[in-house]
Amino acid sequence: MLKQWFSGGLRRQIGRIEVAGVIDSKTRERVLRALKEVEEKQIPAVVLRIDSPGGTVADSQEIYNALVRLRERKGIPIVASFGNIAASGGVYIAMGAEKIVSNPGTITGSIGVIIRGNNLERLLDKIGISFKVIKSGPYKDILSFDRELTPEERNILQELIDITYSQFVHTVAAARRLSVNVVKTFADGRIFSGEQALHLGVVDRLGSEEDARLWAAELAGLPPETKFYDLLPRRRGWARFLPAAEALERLQFEVSTSGLPLWLYTGF
């Protein structure tokens, strides 16, 4: 009886999923679990709150695909709400929503791809450290930190970047009903405000998360006073006051993604 009452109550609430910080495998796992809960508990609408500079390509793609599947299979309206920053991979996952609401001053855009590597060759020479590498092919140690890229390696990486960039551009174009050529006019890595995003056709409306909630309720045929059900509860208590832990997470992300194509606003 209690389970039936609880499930029935959720059918009269709007699911809230917050994507905060860098999009990585942990973010993907949490969001996919939340979307599964939406489906299982028959939650009638979702607000996807995005406050992220972006992140890894494949994790962003999987979140986007899961959002599209949920909408197509269950007809559940999803409204994305942009917070302080919704850039790069944050924009990509928003393309999985039916509608997008942004604050006028949100930092968004940064539609593009970056791959990062470090060259410590000169430092290693100074301290007398060198590496001996035995490899199965000429490109197995591409982006090695103890030497410069060769012209051939640079071409390989540029082709990888170009292909991944094309995936991003085509997704934005399809989701926002824009031509690929139009998207390319602003998909050059630049950032822009939420107000500019509205003029470019990247978002549908300017407004707050509350406005997104009201729109989600309208799309689902729910009363305007319908409340949120937080599918990914925010960190509470002492966990909110650990900047060192957040810095460590960012460092781990930097190390683990070295050499990977990223949909990431580099100013984060």
Q: Which residues are catalytic?
A: 88, 140
Q: In whole angstroms, what is the distance from residue 67 CA to residue 95 CA?
A: 9
As a whole number of Å, the CA-based R_g of the chain is 21
Q: Which two tokens stand for residue 127?
A: 């301290």
Q: Which two tokens stand for residue 213?
A: 């909630």
In this structure, which amino acid lies at residue 219? L
| Sign of the alpha-carbon dihedral angle for 145, 148, 152, 156 | positive
Helix ranges, the chain (H): 2-10, 25-40, 57-74, 89-94, 121-127, 151-176, 180-184, 194-200, 209-220, 243-256
